[in-house]
Structure 1
Amino acid sequence: MLKFLSRPAVRLVERYLPDPYIFVLLLTLVAAAAAIGVERQTPLAVLRYWGDGFWDLLTFSMQMLLVLVTGFMLASSPPVKRQLATLATKAGTPARAIVLVTLVSLAASWINWGFGLVVGALFAKELAKQIRVDYRLLIASAYSGFIVWHGGLAGSIPLVIATEGHFAADRIGVISTTETIFSWFNLAIVLVLFVVVPLVNRLMLPDENESVYVDADKLDEGPPRRLRASRPAEHLENSVTLAWLVGIPGLLFLLDHFLLRGGGLNLNVVNFSFLFLAIVLHRTPRHLLDSLYEAVKGGAGIVIQFPFYAGIMAIMVQSGLAETLSKGFVSIATADTLPFWSFISAGVVNLFVPSGGGQWAVQAPVMLPAAEALGASVPRIAMAVAWGDAWTNLLQPFWALPVLAIAGLKAKDIMGFCLIQLFVTGAIISLGLTFL
């Protein structure tokens, strides 16, 4: 049945889903029109919201670009490539390849979302070199594991409310991760998704005559260049000693961060880890630079699109449109159904504000008073917003950009399969939030 349903979904998306750049332009126009029509904002006010907020995600944009670049450099180092190749041999068949890449992506995304995006995509490419399997579904499976990130160790919303002095601390206090990330209902949702998401991807595997394959030779970057040094500068470029004199202190800093200072994972730490591991494992600056030049080819979408999403976010927040959307769902909720409507509203808002922390800043002032008034569980409502933020990433191509850049595909190639996962996972998460 899932294979049958995935066919029209894939055809529909391939025909009508535009390039992510076109998608963000359309979202910009929709957000601006809604702010004017619904919130009665003047065109000049909306124009100012958009322009003033356009560069608010510059730091995040650079972090995302580094997720792609440093992750690619690490995975393209000879030792990591050998390990990925060895793990890929465990698959053996197309069906096992789909299940294995989904499980790897789920596990990596639960640890850290940036880690999961890069590892899943790179492992999928390695599998495609060894097994003849539908490349679209393989990459979609790698991306589908991203669904669990906000219920995992790097979930921004549960980590925010577990931090002393967060912006809503006066209202709800500090909520431990034992009530959110490590709560029974959240762990149960994660566990079910670890079973169902790989199974759904496996059941969507197209027949031989409908599959789209990739030439494995085109995925192989080949061995590192070995150039004979003839100038002093070239000796430096091929110096293992120089690379390790910088790379090893970077790794020592990470040991200090985790072991002596008890630090945790965040996006900067992940990028730092990827970069310095890549420096050490590539052995020479020249090999690292060759990998870097290959990696940056896929970063154009991130560079040009993220400022537009910052502008959309500013329109949604400053005009009051995001708050209106949230209030609309809350107004029809009861204490029992508020988690469900919080989840749905967060999913809708996420299409326009694809940022977990930013979305919580928008929705918390609406959801928290509603939870108190209705007597609903605040930790559960917070996790409902978190899961809603993660859920519609299966439809929103914003987060797929690093995966697509690594894989060499377009959003329309994978989003048909992700659309099926959107409905399946939406049902699982909403049931878990409501009844567990």
Structure 2
Amino acid sequence: MATIFSNALEHTAQAVTSWAEKWFPDAYIFAALAVVVVAAGAWFMGAPLTQIGIAFGDGYWSLIPFTMQMAMVAISGYVLAVSPPAAALIARLAKLPRSGRSAVAFVAMVSIIASFISWAISLIFAGLLVRALARRTDLRMDYRAAGAAAYLGLGATWALGLSSSAAQLQTNPASLPPTLLAITGVLPFSQTIFLPQSMLLALIIMLVSICIAYFSAPRDANASTADDLAVNLDDTPETTDIDRPGDWLERSPLLTLLIVALGALWIWHEFSSKNPLIAITNLNTYNFVLLLFGMLCNWRPQRFLRAVTQSVPSTAGVLIQFPLYGGIAFILTKAGAADGHTLSHYLAQFFVTISTHSSFPGVIGIYSAILGFFVPSGGGKWIIEAPYVMQAAIDLKVHLGWAVTVYNAAEALPNLINPFWMLPLLGILRLKARDIVGYTFVQFIVHVPLVIFLLWALAGTLSYLPPAMP
């Protein structure tokens, strides 16, 4: 039976990958088509074309801060990884797996565990681990399957950990919009991500994901290695001896040490004044820490700058595609029909209307997954839909903390096939979305029914939790 299951997963993954390599468009085309679909939906709901165009233009630059943060995630992670100390650490970890399939499962495990602390750490570290594993000459690992495994932290579990934007927003009354605070009150982590049911859900998803990653990975004979895919794995920045006196500072660690010392003062203040696990989930803090470590580990400014130069091409997809999703979000939330309501409002109202106490987790989970396909932003999307969803949870006497978990678990589902969040990882791996989507799609078709069922089944073990006002 296990052999039949393994063969079925492997053949399905290979079939979908073969299809994707031929038919799946570049991630930019995917984003552009999403713009057209959402614009058409808003127009069909009654929004004037002029208003749709204005919303698209207004939203196009709305994700610029986040775009820069994501670009820096790729740059800072790469810079640190190619430094001698970090490269040595990752290389030691890469020696642990004994087969190509176990290497893929190992990457999946590392990615998922790291995602409970920070999705950014998960994405970058797992991606760099894949590259290190791919350099092993004694291991025939499918590079595409390993790349898909590196994505599982963000594609399956990140929102069930400390990175959960919705859980973080709900635990901090200062961050919640007044209208939402008046509906839900404050929900501490103990009622959301640290609920026993939420942790059980995360554990089940993690184990299932690792198993699928292992059994869907091609065996040695069918594996496509990085060499087979013509992927350049050379991460070592070239060093050139410069003898001109004016270039002395480029080769001296003096400026590096001064800048790192100055930054260390801020880091000490940040982590001593906040919960360290919460502080590191802030993208600005994460990037700052990673970049300073990158400077320090590269030691000389010359080497650091060469690493930055080599990392920049990996940010191209982020820089050109994220603005399109900013436009999509504004069309969904700003382009109103004659009654002033937007497409996101109509979608939320539809799913809330057809919900009952028992069906609420499954129905809202499906809605959240659908909207997440077009608005791939955990915190931003929660602000959009939470007023409708949480009010419905109160009316139907559903545990409010579990309603947040429903959102968290379902929100991650479209990530498995949406290229949006893949872009920084793809830049590091030097692959395209179509290279890994066959393997993430196998995860997707298993996760959707499993997650929706668990959200419904575990909801039955919880009693109604009324709002707790600050």
* TM-score of the pair, normalised by structure 1: 0.96
* CA drift at 1:387: 1.7
Matches of 2:14 and 2:215 in 1, distance apart?
12
Q: Distance in 2 between matches of 1:249 and 1:160?
A: 31
1:88-133, CA deviations, whole angstroms, 9 ceiling, x for partnerless residues?
A: 0011211210111111111111111111111111111111111221
How big is the shift at 1:221?
A: 2.6
What is aligned with 2:194?
182
1:280 aligns with 2:296: yes
Task: Give the aligned residue type for 1:21.
Answer: Y
Structure-1 residue corresponding to 2:399: 377
Residue 95 of structure 2 is aligned to residue 89 of structure 1 = yes
Residue among 112, 126, 134 paired with 2:142: 134
Is 2:253 the counterpart of 1:245?
no
- When residues 224 and 25 of structure 1 are mapped into structure 2, their CA distance, relative to the original with a 3 A threshold, is closer
Which of 340, 344, 347 matches 1:322? Answer: 344
- For 2:320, the aligned partner's letter is I
Report the number of matched residues.
Answer: 435
Equivalences for 1:4-19 in 2 at 5 Å? 4-19=11-26
SS at match of 1:170: helix
CA distance in 1: counterparts of 2:30 and 2:13, whole angstroms: 22
Distance 2:236 2:157 in 1: 35
State the 1:318 CA deviation: 1.4
> Distance in 1 between the 2:417 and 2:93 partners?
29
SS of corresponding position for 1:254: helix
Q: Which residue of 2 aligns with 1:421?
A: 443
> Partner residue of 1:150?
159
Looking at structure 2, the residues matched to 247 and 220 of structure 1 have their Cα atoms a distance apart, in angstroms, of: 29
State the Cα distance separating 1:148 from its structure 2 match.
0.8
1:177-215 Cα distance to aligned partner (Å, 9 max, x none): 111011111100111122111110110122444321212
Question: How many percent identity over aligned positions?
Answer: 31
Post-superposition offset of 1:382: 1.6
Of 245, 248, 268, the match for 1:255: 268
Q: Paired residue for 2:306?
A: 290
**Could you tell me which residue of structure 1 aligns to residue 4 of structure 2?**
none
Q: Note the residue ranges of structure 1 that are not aligned, 5 or more in a row.
A: none
| Aligned partners of 1:73 and 1:291 also within 8 Å | yes
Map of 1:169 onto structure 2: 181
The answer on whether the counterparts of 1:342 and 1:367 sit within 8 Å (CA) in structure 2 is yes
Q: 2:417·2:440 contact (CA, 8 Å) conserved in 1? A: yes
Q: Secondary structure at the match of 1:182?
A: coil
Aligned 8 A contact 2:231 2:430 in 1: no
Letter in 1 for 2:217: L
Measured after TM superposition, the shift of residue 389 of structure 1 is: 1.5
| Structure 1 equivalent of residue 206 of structure 2 | 194
**CA deviation after TM superposition for structure 1 residue 329, in Å:** 1.9
- Alignment partners' CA distance in 2, 1:128 and 1:347: 33
1:132 is paired with a residue whose SS is coil
Q: Which residue of 1 aligns with 2:65?
A: 59
Contact in 2 for aligned 1:347/1:388 (Cα 8 Å): yes
Q: How does the TM-score come out when normalised to structure 2?
A: 0.89
Q: Paired residue for 1:227?
A: 240
Q: Is the 8 A contact 2:100 2:220 kept in 1?
A: no
Q: Distance in 2 between matches of 1:361 and 1:223?
A: 43
2:169 is aligned, of 146, 160, 164, to: 160
Q: Secondary structure at the match of 1:400?
A: helix
Q: CA RMSD in A?
A: 1.6
